[in-house]
Chain A
Amino acid sequence: MSAASGFSPNRVAEMLRKELRQIFRDPQLYRILFVAPVVQLLMFGYAVSTDVRHTRTFVVDHAGDATSRRVVEALTAGGFFDVVGRSTRDADVVTELDHGRAVVGLVIPPRFGADLAAGDATVQLLVDGTNSNVATVALGHAEGILSSLGVTLAPPAAVAGLAPPIELRDRAWYNPDLASRDYNVPGVVGVLLFLVCMLLTALAVVRERELGTLEQLMVTPLLPLELVAGKALPFALIGLVDLVLVTLLAVLWFGVPFIGSPLLLLFATVLFLLPSLGLGLLISTTSKTQQEAFMASYLTLVPAILLSGFMFPVASMPPLFRWLSLLNPLRHYLEIVRGVFLKGVGLPELWRQHLWLLALGVAFVGVAAARFQKRIG
């Protein structure tokens, strides 16, 4: 089938032109390319939040004095806790937590004011640990607020010598407000690119097979490599357009900082497209129908996303999975994207991730091309 000798950029360009025309003629594809990424970015940008604020709090106040009211005020002042109910019976806090109407219960004992004046008061904090993340953070906030309040509220006589022995001063770099959105939205950029490139490449190739037009392509003088390149390139272009679209939206709509170099991001994205397209091609060689390709893509996407550090930190995985995640292009790309967006770091810090992307790209594309050739031959 190879009457032509050598790889010809001209033929690839011809193929590319045909592919682009085909893509833009399909109204459904249009939607997947441009509408879906925007909708998904909006959905993820808003839904995926690990900020813990306005935690629903139920107060059982046995004291009912001015001091106990100060405690409740201090707790709710920062916006971390919202009081959803009050009572004077201990049993009520159990009911509220059981029903899930409150996440935190604050129990203030009788004679609280007098105890505090004597320098020996206790409050009880009951936390619903069902959502471990919310519970850990809420507990930290509450303990911090309450123990510093103790020093403020205690009478001067009791405060003598109360200057805390050690004080922790914290500073969060890169994201001083610790807004989880700044971390998540750049991650969505990576996930969307991965999804678009892999899924669409797989579907497009399999569709040719389904329609029986793949044979037509094979009898043309195109080399297998040219065929693969022509098939994958349009989606690489679309991926780059999506990158610009989604990045602009992240910065302008969600106000995510972009400190680093756009050029580096572009360069890294080109490297990242290699393994994404390679995986798409690989899936297309194993699927007979678009339906099968869709399922296979889904089965690839789920572990790739979960083991990328997109939502769950790589550092919290057991060693085996931490090691496995090195083979996941999304993991390396997310490290680059977040580094560029939030830290403003460059190649000196991120060269390893770039190398991984290149290596994985060459490997995936190589295997896919070999399998492609075999199926044709």
Chain B
Amino acid sequence: MNLRRLLAVSRKEVLQLRRDRRSMVLAFLLPLLLLLLFGYAISWDVRDIATAVWDADGTPASRALLEAFWASGYFDEVARVGDAAAARAVLDRGEAAVVLALPRGFARKLASGETATVQALVDGSDANTATIVLAYSRAIVLGYGARVRLEGGRPPLPLTVQSRVWYNEELRSRNMIVPGLVAVIMMIIAAMLTSLTLSREWERGTMEQLASTPVSRAEVVLGKLLPYLAIGMVDVAATSAVGVLLFGVPFRGSVVLLAVLSFLFLLGASGIGIFVSAGSKSQLLATQVAMIVSYLPSLLLSGFMFAISSMPAPLRAITYLIPARYFLVVTRGIFLKGVGIEVLRGEALLMALFAVAGVTLAVVRFKKELE
């Protein structure tokens, strides 16, 4: 292994990359686009819920309960309906996500100490939003009930639940997504960029030229990896900085630990990219294979967006084979929980293993393909 030869391969790769407009777009524009979309445009936070009101009671008491809904900041009144058919119609047309129905006699029951009922009719077709809408409604009704109890001089409920949310105190989905995005962006670099390196040489017929030079296989593989590792680390730093400074995602752990573990993960993922590339004679095929074997599983089965605990058992078993799963524990642990190596040592060990395995696979496969 000769460092000078290795760097020469790297320089050649950088020159080639700089000339390839598409690759530059993938390296820098795509991460920016993803950050903008994930960090700013989309979220699971359910706010401004379009609410239709069916107030058959029309008393100060019923209005006071509705007022509690509006004051929560989660519900927005978009329509008033007068009967069941109209309620159904606003849900059918998707104009409202929920109809709050206060039946006649609401105020009378409330005053007499009977249990008054409120109905929440939700559009269940979006199960996730509906579940959250119901959770909010329940909390508001419970809180309003407690107020009525207190004002009426009645005893409080015997059991109080004191809830506290840790790590992501405001329950913003952005705080969960941005640390995960660090991993996804690295998978893109690895899958979409690194997988092109060797197949590009094959496609252009320069592979034989490269093979006839005195560089060794390991020097070629590592030399080709180097520029992508640099790009990946720049992307990680940029993503983290924008996430923290612009989107207000908390960063509670150690920057150094994040850098070290990110580097190991990137090394492994890029190794896999080269491995795919060594076996594909065309760039199109290489990208497609890399998408299917590394990018899509990392996106869907890592817990980036969808909780692993909600998956069926066979799929859950597969997730253990996906390196991104462990890396997500690392990024979320460092960003949100502020935990250190003492908690993450298992994941750190796996990252190191992944890095060694990725690079070894790449070198071995490349050698075999050429001979």
Complex Cα gap A303–B33 (Å): 8
> B305 on the interface (CB 8 Å rule)?
yes
B121 x A173 contact (CB < 8 A): yes
Residues of B within 8 A of A175 (CB): 124-125, 127, 130
Complex Cα gap A136–B133 (Å): 10
Tell which of B122, B124, B164, B307 touches A124, judged by Cβ atoms closer than 8 Å: B164
Q: Which of A142-150, A211-219, A362-370 forms contacts with chain B?
A: A142-150
Tell which of B47, B115, B119, B173 touches A163, judged by Cβ atoms closer than 8 Å: B115
Residues of A within 8 A of B46 (CB): 313, 316
Q: Which of B4-12, B205-213, B310-318 forms contacts with chain A?
A: B310-318
> A359 on the interface (CB 8 Å rule)?
no
Least Cβ distance of A133 to chain B in Å? 5
Residues of A within 8 A of B49 (CB): 315
Least Cβ distance of A284 to chain B in Å? 14
> B176 on the interface (CB 8 Å rule)?
yes
Q: Report the nearest B residue to A161, measured CB to CB.
A: B154
> A3 on the interface (CB 8 Å rule)?
no
Least Cβ distance of A41 to chain B in Å? 13
Give the interface size bracket for B toward A.
35 or more
Q: Which of B234-242, B254-262, B330-338 forms contacts with chain A?
A: B330-338
B113 x A52 contact (CB < 8 A): no
B160 x A122 contact (CB < 8 A): yes
Residues of A within 8 A of B154 (CB): 161
> A253 on the interface (CB 8 Å rule)?
no
Complex Cα gap A46–B173 (Å): 22
Complex Cα gap A317–B173 (Å): 12
> A130-B167, A146-B159 in contact; A46/B312 too (CB < 8 A)?
yes
Q: Report the nearest A residue to B173, measured CB to CB.
A: A132
Q: Which of B143-151, B224-232, B348-356, B362-370 forms contacts with chain A?
A: B143-151
B306 x A136 contact (CB < 8 A): no
Q: Which of B52-60, B271-279, B283-291 forms contacts with chain A?
A: B283-291
Within 8 A of B (CB), among A108-137: 116, 119-137
B159 x A147 contact (CB < 8 A): yes
Q: Report the nearest B residue to A53, measured CB to CB.
A: B310
Least Cβ distance of B138 to chain A in Å? 5
Residues of A within 8 A of B310 (CB): 49-54
Least Cβ distance of A129 to chain B in Å? 3
User: Interface of B with A (CB < 8 Å)?
Assistant: 22, 25-26, 30, 33-34, 37-38, 40-50, 65, 88, 91-94, 97, 110, 113-132, 134-139, 141-142, 144-145, 148-149, 152, 154-173, 175-176, 192, 282-284, 287-288, 296, 300-301, 303, 305-307, 309-312, 315, 329, 332-333, 336-337, 339, 343
Task: Give 7 pairs: A residue, B residue, CB < 8 Å, sorted on A.
Answer: A49-B310, A126-B166, A133-B173, A137-B132, A163-B115, A173-B88, A315-B49
User: Interface of A with B (CB < 8 Å)?
Assistant: 43-44, 46-56, 97-100, 103, 116, 119-137, 139-144, 146-147, 149-151, 153-154, 158-159, 161-176, 178-180, 182-183, 289-292, 294-295, 298-299, 302-303, 306-307, 311-313, 315-318, 321, 335, 338-339, 342-343, 345, 349
- Apart from A43-B296, A129-B169, list 12 A-B contacts with CB within 8 A: A98-B333, A123-B159, A123-B162, A131-B303, A140-B131, A150-B159, A161-B154, A166-B118, A167-B115, A167-B141, A183-B128, A317-B41
